[in-house]
Amino acid sequence: MAAAPDTHPKDDRVDGRDETPTERADRNWNEVLQELRVLQTGTQILTGFLLALAFQPAFADLTDGQRVVYLVLVVMSALSAIIALAPVALHRVLFQQRAKASVVAYGHAALITALFTVSVLVVGVVAFVFDVVVSDAAAWWALAILTLVILVLWVLTPVVIRARLRTNGTR
């Protein structure tokens, strides 16, 4: 008995996975969801911290400038959560519309954007705490050092690794 012809041709990527474009999109969507979960947890913790601050007795002692920074951080926190949830909302709207590849591409872009907003949020929250607890100068130092760490770990290191992979021919 002859085997039925393969109606789902394998894609042309030579990466050892032997998967159809639909299977790849499903796998990539699962990876996006896992990354969103990690990002969302951190964002929720920072948001909770920020929201609790407003109800602390010492909050009344903040300067006008510190209140502005605080409110900007609260907005950044909300923006981070909204951006991180956007791919899930898109997936719900496009459910069973055979648009998984588009959802994955959108999810990737949203994750990159959310990582940027979360990096600003993390650095801002730490600088804000340093400003309130230590001094304005300490806040600027914390901001500079954490920005450098994020640039090295989140930007420079991936760029170097990607360049090495291309040089070695593994991509």
Digit-coded pLDDT (tens) for 96-138: 888 788 888 888 899 999 999 999 999 999 999 999 999 999 9
Say how far residue 156 (Cα) sits from the centre of its chain.
Answer: 16
The HSE-up count of residue 134 (CA atoms within 13 Å, CB side) is 12
Instruction: State the greatest distance between any 2 C-alpha atoms of the chain, in Å, as a whole number.
Output: 83
As given in the structure block, the two tokens for residue 40 are 């969302």
pTM: 0.77
Torsion of CA 65, 70, 74, 77, to 10 degrees: 110
As given in the structure block, the two tokens for residue 94 are 């496009």
